[in-house]
Amino acid sequence: MNNIILLVLCFLAGILLRRGKLMPDNAPATLNSFIIHISVPALTLLYIHELKLSGDIVLVMAMAWLCFGMAAGFFWLVGRYFSFSRGTVGALILTGGMGNTAFFGLPMIEAYYGRSGLPTGILIDQTGSFMVLSTLAIIVAGMYSSGHQTAGSIVRNIVRFPPFIALIIAILLIPSTYPEWMTVVLRRLGDTLAPMALLSVGLQLRLGHLKGNCCSLIFGLGYKLLLAPLMFYLLYVQVLGAHGQVIQITIFEAAMPPMITAAIIAQDHKLDPELATLMVAVGLPLSFITLGAWWWVLQGV
């Protein structure tokens, strides 16, 4: 409960600081840069080093890829039926198919499942969400806009991403034992993730442009917050018979609100920027309710 209170307070603080114009316009970008270059790599080096692989590893790593693929098919069909524009369909695939598994997901996992759940969350983010973002999301964004992304640029984006570099280093260092000072430093740096991430999200929250986007917004958030985790619950638990905390966290991550970076990519490619912003702005506060409900449902898994 203390962690959830911390997240809510940081989120509200970001909103109040923005409304009071007490932070510069580039504050979210600065906070996000620190998170990407310092906080997430520190957590990756700390917790992936301690990761204990299990038979559920394939299901964990596959979740983000399957979620994006199902979103692409779902929103293509919805777009054809309701005659959505290409930009709207592209924005829905990106924001509806990509969950905020790092900036929001890791703090929420820590709040509901404790630090023991962080390795699973990091694995989902690094081998799933980030890789999908750097490959399939870029390709889809190019397909639905006039942009073009080469294979070489995709590979460069992956190998230069700090959390991915940290993931490789952490895997290579698994046989080694960290000195005590290194563990303390990594933990202190990793502790900055939750407050800074929620502060950044609060600073970016915008609720304009609701008029004219209600239909597409309902489909987008309905898929991301309800339908996607439900499909993984049915597939992983009911069909494949998987159980345990790792599976709980995997489905919990599937229920995360839209990824901020995915919305930024949609905006950069001019894929219905208003809708992309709304998916994040409305989805994040709404997810405080839906994630609590999913956590309760998953207790029996």
Instruction: Report the candidate in 190, 299, 215, 204 with the shortest Cα–Cα distance to residue 251.
Output: 299
pLDDT of residue 149: 60
Q: What is the dihedral of CA 185, 187, 191, 193, to 10 degrees?
A: 90
Q: What is the pLDDT along the chain (301 residues), one digit of tens a residue?
A: 666 777 788 888 988 998 898 989 888 888 888 888 898 888 888 877 766 666 678 899 999 999 999 999 999 999 999 999 999 999 999 999 999 988 788 889 988 998 888 888 988 987 888 778 877 888 888 888 865 566 676 677 667 778 788 888 988 898 889 999 999 999 999 888 878 877 887 887 766 666 778 899 999 999 999 999 999 999 999 999 999 999 999 999 999 999 887 887 887 788 988 898 889 888 988 999 999 999 999 998 8
What is the rounded CA–CA span in Å between residue 277 and residue 273? 6
Instruction: Report the candidate in 199, 173, 200 with the shortest Cα–Cα distance to residue 186.
Output: 173
DSSP code of 56?
T
pLDDT of residue 148: 59
What is the rounded CA–CA span in Å between residue 43 and residue 193? 9
Which domains does the chain carry?
26-294 (1.20.1530)
State the SS3 of 196-231.
HHHHHHHHHCCCCCCCCCHHHHHHHHHHHHHHHHHH
Its pTM surpasses 0.85 = no
Specify the residue for token string 């905020």.
100
Contact present, 99 and 284 (Cβ < 8 Å):
no
Helix axes 193-204, 273-298, angle to 10 degrees: 140
Residue 125 tokens, joined:
């983010």
Instruction: Give the largest Cα separation in the chain, rounded.
Output: 59
Residue 73's H or E segment, with its range, is: helix 57-82
pLDDT of residue 1: 60
